[in-house]
A and B are shown apart, each in its own frame.
Chain A
Amino acid sequence: MSPTQKQRLLVVVIVMVGIGITATLTLLAFQENLLYFVSPTQIKSGELPQQRQFRVGGLVVEGTIQRDGVKVQFDLTDTANSITVVYNGILPDLFREGQGIVANGKLDDSGIFMASEVLAKHDENYMPPEVSEALAKAKDLPEKFKGHPR
């Protein structure tokens, strides 16, 4: 490499390092705002103001779904804490017990989350239903690998 080429390489490297540091610092500064949803634990610890719209994410606790017409009430957990969610509307197809979901809404005075929108989160596992059933039967497997066959 000639000296001018080395110099140009150095300029490109310096520009990239500079941009990298800038981006890292910016993203760290906006860390909180980049979270798409918060966890029930964060709500319980009182980090979030009431009367403000935000999203909460977690797993639907098994056996807590109560339906009344299109009104539905269920508990949402992050395995440490849970919160009760009330929603009036049509749920996505993937909504079921144990499913990860994200609800958008407000906390009311009694600490119940009044959702105006419920989105389902699907996991990163892809397998045929038979495999999922076989895995669910093998009880010693961790919870996250147990499926919900259709």
Chain B
Amino acid sequence: MMKFIHRFASPREFFRISGRLLPWLASLTLLLMLIGLYLGLLVAPPDYQQGESYRIMFIHVPSAWMSLFVYTVMAGAAAIGMIWRIKLAHVVAMNSAPIGASFTFLALVTGSLWGKPMWGAWWVWDARLTSELILLFLYLGVMALYAAFEDRRTAQRAAGLLAIVGVVNVPIIHYSVMWWNTLHQGPTVSKLDAPSIHLSMLVPLLVMTVAFTLFYVVVLLMRTRWEIIDQERRSNWVEEFLEQT
């Protein structure tokens, strides 16, 4: 197992294996996203309280989950890169930041569009919304710090440290709706007892979540591949690869 990880973590092997996986993963992402949207927008029944408006949930909730998940992956990869000095881990961490920032932005925008008709306000400064906004700033901070250094390794370490420090915000966002009174409602799916969502609505939500996760993997692989090509442009195998294409 460790042998496999080390092999996969070598830039050349990573490039080869990811190149084979990508077309499959991308097709699966597209397929699941279409199924999820079809089930969510056309098959699922309207909500007893919110009517049709609740359907924005099928974009909003997976985006918000991904914003937390990607941050955790980014901080974890940065820590691994820092402790074991694995090049690829740093590359994964730094390339996760813009993707996570996009998910966070999407969650905030769709939440705002949902908030106006339901709550009566585009934005409120409650604990959940504020901590999610801080998450966006953390992502932007990591990206800015990474871009601020000439030397790639210094940049990776500085931005990685900010990513690790900021991970404290992730549980705060998740538990904000339980620790404090917020306008945002409490958790639906992750409650310990049965999730309080009808199965016909839960299925499209979970399909969309899997699709969003795969989308993250696909974009991450694509970005990482380009960075590997850039970093290793003077090595023989990259020259061979570029000649072939």
Contact = CB atoms under 8 A, between A and B. Distances in A.
Contact of B188 (A124, A147, A150): A124
B46 A129 contact: yes
A150 B198 CA distance: 17
B82 A12 contact: yes
A119 B127 contact: no
B181 A35 contact: yes
Given A119-B124, A131-B48, A8 B198 contact: no
Contact of B120 (A20, A34, A120, A129): A120
Contact of B49 (A5, A23, A31, A147): A147
Nearest to B201: A126
A128 B48 CA distance: 5
Contact of A36 (B84, B124, B196): B124
Given A36-B124, A119-B119, A15 B164 contact: yes
A20 B45 CA distance: 42
B182 interface: yes
A126 B54 contact: yes
Interface stretch (B17-25, B165-173, B210-218): B165-173
A111 interface: no
Interface string B104-141: 00000000000001111100111100000000000000
Interface string B43-83: 00111111100100100000000000000000000010011
Contacts of B49: 94, 122-123, 125, 132, 147-148, 150
B188 A27 contact: no
A40 interface: no
A117 B121 CA distance: 10
A31 B167 CA distance: 20
Given A94-B118, A148-B49, A124 B196 contact: yes
Contacts, number: 122
Interface in A75-128: 91-94, 102, 117-128
A130 B49 CA distance: 11
A92 B120 contact: yes
Contacts of B50: 94, 122
Interface residues of B, number: 43
Interface residues of A, number: 44
B79 A5 contact: no
A48 interface: no
A27 B172 CA distance: 9
B122 to A, nearest CB: 11
A124 B179 CA distance: 16
A128 B161 CA distance: 46
Nearest to A20: B168
B82 to A, nearest CB: 6
Interface in B130-160: none
Contacts of B165: 15-16, 19
B180 interface: yes
A12 B197 contact: no
B244 interface: no
A125 B193 CA distance: 13
27 contacts: A15-B164, A16-B164, A23-B172, A35-B181, A36-B181, A36-B182, A38-B181, A91-B120, A94-B119, A117-B121, A118-B120, A119-B121, A120-B118, A120-B119, A122-B49, A122-B50, A125-B188, A125-B197, A126-B188, A128-B48, A128-B198, A129-B45, A129-B48, A133-B48, A147-B48, A147-B49, A150-B49
- Minimum-distance CB pairs A-B, first 5: A92-B120, A132-B48, A128-B45, A36-B126, A127-B198
